């Protein structure tokens, strides 16, 4: 699959317009939106293999099927449904579905599969369009207070809200998700300003570094979340070979055995000798 970001944004905004939503309207009820588009929404038990799938039925009818065994919350459910809508509206995905392919979706932003990443990007643009999101996040810091407030406004999960924030902000920050059971990084998203700091190897699939607060939290979880403290950026990214204080904020997602970590730079980098 090779849809450009502009193509995906165009499809998401076009679908919003088709069901009567302006670029700043909130998707109030995702199930109503599914019905308005003409899809069938169902549920089925799949164990723990995947979150949902969409499929071609007959007579140009399509269904979105959610896993009843999954550990849902409402905003995660909204995002998953929107992800499946993405598969049904991105031209190359739809063509594959009509040939009998079945997309089995994993939890949001936890895949390196290009097809799933495209559907994730459709979902975030469908639920939280750029103009509306930038207006809602103006003057906000990269903290869980901000992320949770924004997430509730748009009806999106912590991960989706943090992803969108990092994508659009002019702050120097990064989002990391960690598997609690393995201590390994499942996902990482960096802001443009963070990328400008210099080369730093991506953390996907690697163990959480020992000198970080997240490492300590994995060893001894706090009584309450979020847990926030300072850390040196070089403890997360030794390739930078420069020191700078960061705010490291940690939240347990509440499902999928996942910690979400927010890193925001507090000062300019200093060379380490």
pLDDT digits (tens, 9 = 90+) for 116-157: 889 999 999 999 999 999 999 998 999 999 999 999 999 998
Query: What average pLDDT does the segment 33-42 reach?
Result: 93
- Whole-number percent of the chain with pLDDT over 70: 93
Q: What is the pLDDT of residue 70?
A: 75
Residues 6+ away with beta carbon under 8 Å from 53: 64, 65, 84, 102, 103, 104, 105
**Sheet holding 227-232: strands in order across?**
184-190, 173-179, 258-265, 245-252, 227-232
Q: What is the pLDDT of residue 1?
A: 54
Helix 74-89 to helix 30-37 angle, to the nearest 10 degrees? 20
What is the tens place of the pLDDT at every residue in 237-265? 999 988 899 999 999 988 778 999 999 99
Q: What is the pLDDT of residue 55?
A: 83
What is the tens place of the pLDDT at every residue in 194-242? 999 989 999 999 999 999 999 999 999 999 999 999 999 999 999 998 8
> Cβ–Cβ contacts within 10 Å for residue 98, how many?
11
What does the alpha-carbon distance between residue 121 and residue 231 come to, in Å, rounded to a whole number? 30
Lowest model confidence (mean pLDDT) among 13-22, 110-119, 120-129, 159-168: 110-119
What does the alpha-carbon distance between residue 18 and residue 221 come to, in Å, rounded to a whole number? 46
* Preceding amide of 226 cis, omega within 30: yes
Q: What is the pLDDT of residue 219?
A: 95
What does the alpha-carbon distance between residue 209 and residue 169 come to, in Å, rounded to a whole number? 26
Query: What average pLDDT does the segment 101-116 reach?
Result: 70
Helix 91-98 to helix 114-127 angle, to the nearest 10 degrees? 120
**Residue 273 confidence (pLDDT) above 60:** no
Angle at alpha carbon of residue 131, lines to 126 and 137, rounded to 5°? 100
Task: Name the residue among 245, 208, 206 with its Cα closest to residue 228.
Answer: 245
Confidence of residue 111 (pLDDT cuts 50, 70, 90): low
Residues 6+ away with beta carbon under 8 Å from 32: none
What does the alpha-carbon distance between residue 27 and residue 25 come to, in Å, rounded to a whole number? 7
Tokens of residue 144, six digits: 């869980």
Mean residue pLDDT across the chain:
89
What is the tens place of the pLDDT at every residue in 61-80? 889 988 888 777 888 889 99
């Amino acid at each position: 699959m090779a849809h450009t970001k502009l193509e995906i944004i165009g499809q998401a905004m076009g679908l919003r317009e088709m069901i009567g939503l302006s670029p700043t309207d909130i998707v109030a009820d995702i199930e109503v939106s599914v019905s308005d588009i003409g899809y069938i929404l169902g549920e089925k038990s799949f164990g723990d293999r995947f979150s949902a799938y969409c499929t071609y039925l007959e007579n140009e009818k399509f269904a979105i099927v959610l896993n009843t065994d999954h550990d849902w919350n409402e905003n995660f459910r909204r995002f998953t449904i929107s992800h499946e809508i993405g598969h049904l509206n991105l031209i190359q995905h739809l063509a594959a579905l009509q040939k009998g392919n079945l997309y089995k979706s994993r939890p949001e932003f936890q895949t390196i599969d290009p097809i799933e990443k495209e559907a994730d990007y459709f979902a975030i643009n469908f639920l939280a369009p750029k103009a509306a999101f930038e207006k809602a996040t103006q003057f906000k810091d990269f903290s869980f207070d901000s992320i949770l407030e924004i997430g509730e406004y748009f009806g999106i999960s912590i991960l989706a809200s943090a992803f969108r924030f990092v994508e659009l902000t002019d702050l120097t920050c990064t989002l990391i998700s960690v598997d609690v059971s393995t201590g390994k990084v499942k996902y990482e998203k960096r802001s443009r300003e963070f990328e400008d700091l210099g080369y730093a190897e991506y953390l996907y699939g690697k163990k959480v570094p020992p000198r970080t607060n997240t490492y300590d939290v994995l060893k001894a979880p706090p009584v309450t979340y979020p847990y926030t403290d300072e850390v040196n950026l070089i403890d997360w990214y030794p390739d930078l070979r420069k020191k700078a204080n960061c705010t490291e904020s940690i939240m347990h997602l509440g499902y999928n055995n996942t910690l979400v970590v927010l890193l925001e730079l507090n000062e300019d980098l200093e060379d380490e000798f």
